[in-house]
Amino acid sequence: MTDSTLIRLDGVRKVFYADEIETHALSGIHLEIRRGEFVSIEGPSGCGKSTLLAILGLLDTPTDGTYELNGKLVTGLTARDRARIRNREIGFIFQAFNLIGDLTVFENVELPLTYRDLGARDRKEKVMAALERVGMSHRLKHYPAQLSGGQQQRVAVARALAGDPQILLADEPTGNLDSKNGEAVMDLLHELHANGATICMVTHDPRYAAAADRSVHLFDGQVVEETAGRRAAQEVG
């Protein structure tokens, strides 16, 4: 693992047990993501994409194997430590945006910061900066229901960015958007990536997958192929 490696999975397996039936969601995944890299994870439904992303986001723990984040082994951490790492080092972008309906745009973006020991002024600065980055600072007091889907997802991106995470994990970020808004969100992610953000995105849309630096293809819980994305190819070319 080089200094530029942010994430390293080694032999990660995930087995679910339900009614005495074993389901192997992931089988021996080896994966490295470098700082500043934009990686997409592709594959058909049920191939383990979301499980992989959940393990990457410390929302779930692997049954086997090791996971190093930013040079630290994070498998075997307590729930409390995992929560802290999620809060400080990982930003999540969900397909369904997952903004809280009762909270304003500002409050939604501020939410992860409230779980840190940050003063109100610091939180406000970070929230405003994040909203500026996604172009939503003019909608501070709006509620999610008052925004379009594209705007909601931009707010969700701002929420993911607000805590200055090491990596953004995006789970089908365009899945609930029409193509125009989908394009806009992808442009936003590329812009963030261009400014140095590390992004790992699950998608089943080949167009968006191809736009990443690297695409990891999953099938039946295994990495079956890794390809350089169009953008990477263009850069190499």
Taking the C-alpha atoms of residue 91 and residue 168, their distance in angstroms, rounded to an integer, is: 5
Least Cα distance to 186 among 217, 210, 164 occurs for 210
27, 63, 70, 87: residue in contact with other proteins (rule CB under 8 A)? 87
Residue 185 CA to residue 181 CA, distance in Å, equals: 6
Contact 170, 212 (CB under 8 A): no
Q: Residues 115, 123: contact at Cβ < 8 Å?
A: no
For other proteins, which residue of 80, 119, 196, 236 counts as binding (CB under 8 A)?
80
Q: What is the DSSP string of 161-177?
A: HHT--SEEEEESTTTTS
75 scored as a contact of other proteins (CB under 8 A): no
| Of 29-37, 112-120, 193-201, 210-218: span binding other proteins (CB under 8 A) | 112-120
Q: What are phi and psi of 131, to 5 degrees?
A: -70, -35
Number of residues forming the site for other proteins (CB under 8 A): 36
- State which of residues 126, 154, 159, 214 lies at the interface with other proteins (CB under 8 A): 159
The interaxial angle of helices 120-134 and 149-162, nearest 10 deg, is 130
CB 176, min distance to other proteins, A: 6
CA distance 125 to 89: 18
- Closest CB to other proteins among 3 and 22? 22
**43 or 144: CB nearest other proteins:** 144
Contact in structure between 185 and 177 (CB atoms under 8 Å): yes
Say whether residue 208 binds other proteins (CB under 8 A).
Answer: no
Binding range to other proteins, per CB under 8 A, among 20-28, 33-41, 145-153, 181-189 = 145-153
CB of residue 72 vs other proteins: minimum separation in angstroms?
16
To other proteins, the closest distance from the beta carbon of 59 in angstroms equals 5
Q: Are the C-beta atoms of residues 207 and 201 closer than 8 Å to each other?
A: no
Name which position in 172, 174, 197, 200 contacts other proteins (CB under 8 A): 172
Decide if residue 106 touches other proteins (CB under 8 A): no
Rg (CA), the chain: 18
Name the residues that contact other proteins, by CB under 8 A: 50, 54, 57, 59-60, 79-80, 83-84, 86-88, 92, 94-103, 111-112, 115-116, 144-145, 149, 152, 159, 163, 171-172, 176
